[in-house]
Structure formats: C-alpha cells, structure tokens
Amino acid sequence: MYKELIIKSEESMKKSISFLKEELATIRAGKANPKLVDKIQVSYYGTMTPLNQIANISVPEPRMLLIQPWDANALKDIERALLTSDLGINPTNDGKMIRLVIPVLTEERRKDLLKVVKKEIENSKIAVRNIRRDTNDEIKKLEKQSEISKDDLKRAEDEMQKLTDRYISIIDDIYKDKEIEILEV
C-alpha cells in the first residue's frame, strides 16, 4: 500500500533533479552553451517567443554563441532582448546573425555565480525534503486509518529517509560538478 507512495515520491524527486539540472545549465561558467539563452524571450511580431524557437543557436568556438534568426526581420528584436536580459553580454550584430562572445569570468563574478548555484541547490534540497514530509504524512494517515501496521509505518519512513538521503547526495554531487565548472579558469 505505502510502496506506491514511495514510488510516486521518487518520481517527484527525479523531476526536482532534472529541474535543477535545467536551471544550472542556464548559469554561464565561462563556456558557451546554447542553454544560456533558453530563458530569453523575444518580442516577435508582438508575441513573446522563446529565442530558440525563432533562431538557430550554435557554438562555433568554445567561448562564442552564434544566433541566426530564421526571419531576418527578427534580428533587431533578438538583439534588444539580449541587451535587456541578465546575461551581461553585449551582442555583436553583423546584419545576418548575432555573435555573443562569452567573456572570461573574474574571480568576483565566479563567487557571485557560486552563490546563485548554492541557492538553486538549497531550493532543490528543500523540494526533496518537502516530498519526504508530504509522503510521510500520507503514510501516517494510512496507519491512522488502520490500512497499514506500525511496522509498515516504520519501514516506510525508513525507506523514505534512505530515498531522501540518496537524492540529497545526488544534489550534492551536482553542486560539486558545477562548482568545479565555475571555478575552472
């Protein structure tokens, strides 16, 4: 009975991990990555549209993004969206495409990025712990309704704790990898 709750919880924890990975991919670490511009919305004929839906984004060099709009009329709108974004990179427009040269990160900027990463990591850990709490509450309800025994309650709580510990460990590993990526010169 409680096993379904634990399986459902693990699915939720997996989603938290994949969301964390997506969030961290948008944090630039001195290397060009098309995911850096995933969150940028462009006013395209009056409609806010994700940049990757109106342009091809490629990485011709390790520290350069090349943005080629499918509609040449969107070039100015894309450039405006990049300038107003929080990327902190000035786009170079040659009339056909936009180049984004990723500057080398300063020590201070690396520390700032690490703070942002730590915040995202902590949010993920909180999400995983909230999943554990909610599942434990559901399991306790089952025990109160006499649908499972006290032994099953204890067993389920232990399984949930092991599951939580495993996902917290995965989050810590993700943080270590991102920290190495950011601090790498």
Query: For position 173, which CATH number holds?
Result: 1.10.132.20
Which DSSP symbol is given to 72? G
- Containing structural domain, residue 16: 2-25+106-183
Whether 45 and 97 map to the same domain: the answer is yes
**pTM, whole model, 2 decimals?**
0.72
CA gap 66, 53 in Å, rounded: 15
CA gap 25, 148 in Å, rounded: 42
Whether 134 and 88 map to the same domain: the answer is no
Q: What does DSSP say about strands 41-44 and 47-50: parallel, antiparallel, or unpaired?
A: antiparallel
CA gap 120, 135 in Å, rounded: 23
Whether 90 and 113 map to the same domain: the answer is no
Whether 46 and 135 map to the same domain: the answer is no
Whether 75 and 46 map to the same domain: the answer is yes
Last residue of a domain, one of 101, 124, 159: 101
In this predicted structure, what is the pLDDT of residue 29? 67
| Nearest to 1, CA basis, from 118, 146, 103 | 146
The helix or strand, by DSSP H or E, that contains position 129, with its residue range, turns out to be helix 107-144
CB of 131 within 8 A of CB of 13? yes
| Tally of domains within the chain | 2
In this predicted structure, what is the pLDDT of residue 183? 81
Whether 67 and 156 map to the same domain: the answer is no
Whether 119 and 95 map to the same domain: the answer is no
In this predicted structure, what is the pLDDT of residue 30? 66
Whether 69 and 94 map to the same domain: the answer is yes
In this predicted structure, what is the pLDDT of residue 121? 95
Whether 164 and 150 map to the same domain: the answer is yes
Those residues of the chain that have pLDDT short of 50 are none
